[in-house]
Chains A and B, each alone.
Chain A
């Protein structure tokens, strides 16, 4: 841990630099939240319509989105 003054670190909440998949999912989520809504059904529809799928390539379901976002955001 550096002791140099001043400590100015943009990222203090991350454990790793996000992967390209994580960046893609995050931007798609912001778009969906902006244009389609804040419900689980909106998210699943919105992400699938944008072809932003889960890591195994399968279209999202409410269940798989909950699981994945819990893994990424816990």
Chain B
């Protein structure tokens, strides 16, 4: 050894061993601490990636492109008494390529390519204008309509020239046209209002969430009307009235088990009992709401029981001592005090029910339902099942709309959970 004085000089080997062991122990301690940090970091990273990827995929769906084209309303091709019958898309496409200076071939392929950039909504817009004001025939009027989903995907940069032309749905020529139309100011980006004001459609540029939002709302209303009163009632009975006997014990075990039954089993129950046995209407908010209510029931019961338990016995004893009956004690004193907790539990379980999908698929909420529903016994869509349906759709534009639908669903859930948290904060009480 050199005399560069190692710190252990003069220290016995035993102390050296001990110090080394201590260092190793502290190192293990630090490592362990870092494992914990890493685990939390990974979990939070997952959360960020999950939400980030959905926002990245979905935010583009909140704006859309419309095109405003001057259209010569050709009286020779548009029947005044039946404007819906006219082939407006063809008329507009032919006029538009002429305006862009393109010579069409005998088969009309250029006009067809232009037509592919326009949405069928154009036809309804133009027909509506003629029906309202027949004097427009023979004039040139501007008509505004959405672009087709393919054109939209190009303008949003999701279809690029980097992909070989034969592998994408928008040709180089169509891209050039779109660029020209955009440069001339005919194509305009705006907030995608259709997403919030329309029902489902087979064409992505016309598909909206309103039908599914209304369907979900109707279903949730049925769920809340059934699950909350029944759940609270059951919890009150179990906590305040029930005798300690075998029946009560069975009910209690049963509720705990129900809370952990997989959701798809509730779907099977709904299919067998409500649809095949009671013949309630398939895919209706009535059946969906009933199934979700049965699913939410155990959660509400458990939450209500714990908030009833939190009310101190002295309140009950005081009321009973003043001569109140058991029922008067419960409904006049205990339940009002437990109400914030009950509401919190109810809101959280409703938020869960809102996001539940698997049982809805089994009771038939997987088919295409255009428009917006009005009644609780007609087939509807729901937000989660719409997400599932759109995710399976082949059109690329549905992908961004799926992500947008998820963002809307998550927004509802965040609002509900925030309401629950606020409620808890606002009425938190310590005895």
A, B: real partners: no
- A residues apposed to B, CB below 8 Å: none
- Measuring CB to CB, which residues of chain B are less than 8 angstroms from any residue of chain A? none
